[in-house]
Chain A
Amino acid sequence: MIHRRFSFGAVLLALATGVGCNGDTPTSPTATATTATAAAPAYTEEWIDTLSVGGTRFYSFTVTQYGTVNVALTSVSGQFVPGTVTVGLGIGTPAAETCSPTSSISTQSGTGPQLTGAYNPGVYCVIIRDVGNLFAAARFSITVAYP
């Protein structure tokens, strides 16, 4: 009789152990492959300013969702400044008293975006600089389109 009572207790103990630790049983992860889709630009800002000889200027903007950023240098003009002059153009993040570019090119002005890329939410900046081609201050226009 005692043997039967002990067996019953052992069974109860085993069941309790299984139930007590049941919450720790891992479940198989479900494979959910997510591919982020870059949102199209929703906002456009036009930045018109003056670039001095040997100078640098930058402009900050905030991206609120992952998406495509397009930057177009649409015009460069001024006395003694040919419209075809090549300047430096970049996209980056504001850092200290400047814009630290992560992508940059030397380009002339044109209609299409000279720089484009997909960016996560955050604060970014466009930087323009004289790469040594200016002999006088240049008036420029840059269009920034972002999601």
Chain B
Amino acid sequence: MTVGAFVIVALTLVCNACSDKIETPTSATTTATTAILFSGTLQPRGVRFYSYTLTTSGAVSALLASVERNGVPAGNALEIGIGAPAGTDCAVTMSANGPASLIPQLRHDAAAGTYCVRVADIEGLAAPMTFTIRLIHP
């Protein structure tokens, strides 16, 4: 090897060593989630809400897990919504009206901050019902 060739090889090695190449991680990234169960009794035409704080941004989903009267499942539809606490209520930005479900009725990406999930009877229950909302957030 000539001295010139040696210099070229050395320069190549030096440049590679100092490059700002970003290493792509190969390991999978997992995000921990937290589940909140919000249960209570909802009066006919009543409204209740539950406030929670996200410390990191991420996907939030909510579902009406159950509607019962005296321990017996009921098919009544209730409106659930997600929003931010405002005044004496929860100002919802998205909502869905339906019976209890196994799949999320609401899903959105949220930044860190304080939010609320709200349940309301907009169809007129014949009697008070117990409900459970399952909220999953980062």
Decide if A59 touches B88 in the complex (CB within 8 Å).
yes
Q: Which residue of B lies closest to A15 (CB)?
A: B11
Contact (A12, B3) CB under 8 Å given A58-B88, A95-B51, A123-B113: no
Give, as a whole number of angstroms, the nearest-CB distance from B54 to chain A.
11
The answer, among A5, A17, A97, A123, for a CB contact under 8 Å with B84, is A123
Interface size on B, residues (CB 8 A): 26
Query: Which listed residue (A2, A6, A20, A60) contacts B14, Cβ 8 A?
Result: A20
> Does chain B have a CB within 8 A of A119?
no
Q: Does B59 contact A (CB under 8 A)?
A: no
Residues of chain A lying within 8 A (CB to CB) of residue B40: 97
Say whether B14 contacts A95, CB under 8 Å: no
Q: Which of B4, B18, B88 is in CB contact (< 8 Å) with A21? A: B18
Chain B positions within 8 Å of A113 at CB level = none
| CB proximity of B120 to chain A, nearest CB, Å | 14
Q: Does A9 contact B (CB under 8 A)?
A: yes
Q: What chain A residues lie within 8 Å of B85 (beta carbons)? A: 60, 94, 123, 125
With a cutoff of 8 Å between Cβ atoms, the chain A residues found around residue B50 in the complex are 96-97
Task: Please tell me which one of the listed residues A13, A24, A60, A97 contacts residue B87 in the complex, with CB atoms under 8 A apart.
Answer: A60
Contacts of A66 in B (CB 8 A): none
A contact residues around B4 at 8 Å (CB): 5, 9
By a CB distance below 8 angstroms, the chain A residues around B17 are 20
The reply on A135 being an interface residue by CB < 8 A is no
In the complex, residue of chain B having the shortest beta-carbon distance to the beta carbon of A23? B20
Residues of chain A at interface, number, CB under 8 A: 29
Q: Is the CB of A13 within 8 A of B14?
A: yes
From residue B95, how far is it (CB to closest CB) to chain A in Å? Answer: 18
* Interfacial residues of chain A within 16-57, with CB under 8 A of chain B in the complex: 16-17, 20-21, 23-24, 45, 47, 49, 57
Q: Which residues in B have their C-beta under 8 angstroms from that of A140?
A: none
Please encode chain B, from 70 to 95, with 1 for each CB lying within 8 Å of some chain A CB and 0 for all others. Answer: 00000000000000111110000000
Q: Given A9-B3, A9-B7, A13-B11, are A96 and B51 neighbors across the interface (CB < 8 Å)? A: yes
The residues of B with any CB-CB pair to A shorter than 8 Å are 3-4, 6-7, 10-11, 14-15, 17-18, 20, 40, 48-53, 84-88, 113-114, 116
User: Across chains A and B, which 8 residue pairs bring their CB atoms closest together, nearest first?
Assistant: A94-B51, A60-B85, A123-B114, A9-B7, A94-B85, A20-B18, A21-B18, A16-B11
10 contacts between A and B (CB under 8 A): A9-B4, A13-B14, A16-B14, A17-B14, A20-B17, A47-B87, A60-B85, A60-B88, A94-B114, A97-B50
